[in-house]
């Protein structure tokens, strides 16, 4: 039974050994070591996945020093009339994900409330792409009201929002590939998976820690909301314009 599950996941979803371990634990309650899984794959000539095309340039990686210093946000389409809004903390990779029927300012405001409610740390900056749903004045005013700096990335710069882009791909591969996206309790299923991601799933970029482990590890250095409020300088913030050229010109004039 265990062997059949491993081979099925390998063939159908092309998962690596560590992701197979995670999925077997999450979906089937099986705790197998990577070495055991690898032996089964080798025995059935599935030990090696085709190599990915190598990138010409190695990306420059960075990580903010404390949770909440910078939270990346984005949205992606799951199917018609179903969108996922995603926020991930740059330092800890702590994830918040919500669902909406459309990309809109109203959906962004609702998701922002969810992020503020679920994040176990104070948020200093929010970074997004230049999607219209994030540039609505109501959204920016709400960020200002909560002493959060809005930092959109330049156009055609998805690499600057790379952590949230990668997180969305992970959700697509590890959650949406395993569920019926039209199930009436799909929001609850997503919430359950996000809890698994934050509390149980080892993260390679964190040296095998889960996001909540990193949050706890940096807790003493992480400012509380009161400190964030006091450090926020409203005179340095303004309503940002979606058109990057115009927005840059206005920043120079200011």
Please tell me whether residues 8 and 99 are part of one structural domain: no
Question: Tokens 């300012």 — which residue?
Answer: 105
The pLDDT, as a whole number, for residue 56 is 59
The pLDDT, as a whole number, for residue 184 is 96
Q: How many domains does the chain have?
A: 2
The pLDDT, as a whole number, for residue 27 is 81
* Separation between Cα atoms, residue 94 and residue 210, nearest integer Å: 8
The pLDDT, as a whole number, for residue 4 is 84
Please tell me whether residues 78 and 185 are part of one structural domain: yes
Please tell me whether residues 118 and 36 are part of one structural domain: no
The pLDDT, as a whole number, for residue 72 is 97
The pLDDT, as a whole number, for residue 15 is 85
Backbone angles phi, psi at 54, to 5 degrees: -75, 140
Host domain of residue 111: 71-230
The answer to whether position 136 is within a domain reads yes
CB 87 within 8 A of CB 98: no
Please tell me whether residues 102 and 178 are part of one structural domain: yes
The pLDDT, as a whole number, for residue 25 is 86
Give mean pLDDT in consecutive 10-residue pieces for the chain, a chain of 254 residues. 84 85 86 88 80 60 88 97 98 98 97 98 97 95 97 87 94 95 97 97 92 97 97 94 86 71
Q: What is the pTM of this model?
A: 0.84
* Separation between Cα atoms, residue 40 and residue 95, nearest integer Å: 32
């Amino acid at each position: 039974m265990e062997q059949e599950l491993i081979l099925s996941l390998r063939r159908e979803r092309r998962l690596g050994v560590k992701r197979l371990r995670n999925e077997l634990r999450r979906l089937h309650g099986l705790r197998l070591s990577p070495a055991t899984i690898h032996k089964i794959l080798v025995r059935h000539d599935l030990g090696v996945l085709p190599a990915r095309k190598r990138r010409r340039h190695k990306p420059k990686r960075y990580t903010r020093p404390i949770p909440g210093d910078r939270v990346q946000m984005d949205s992606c389409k799951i199917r018609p009339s179903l969108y996922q809004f995603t926020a991930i903390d740059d330092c800890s990779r702590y994830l918040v994900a919500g669902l909406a029927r459309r990309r809109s300012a109203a959906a962004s405001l609702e998701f922002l409330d969810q992020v503020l409610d679920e994040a176990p740390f104070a948020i200093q900056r929010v970074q997004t792409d230049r999607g219209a749903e994030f540039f609505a004045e109501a959204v920016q005013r709400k960020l200002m009201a909560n002493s959060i700096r809005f930092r959109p990335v330049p156009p055609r710069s998805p690499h600057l929002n790379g952590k949230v882009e990668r997180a969305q791909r992970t959700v697509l591969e590890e959650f949406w590939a395993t569920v019926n996206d039209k199930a009436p309790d799909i929001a609850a299923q997503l919430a359950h998976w996000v809890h698994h991601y934050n509390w149980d799933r080892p993260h390679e970029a964190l040296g095998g820690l889960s996001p909540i482990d990193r949050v706890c590890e940096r807790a003493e250095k992480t400012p509380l909301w009161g400190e964030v409020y006091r450090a926020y300088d409203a005179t340095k913030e303004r309503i940002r314009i979606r058109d990057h050229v115009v927005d840059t010109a206005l920043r120079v004039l200011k």
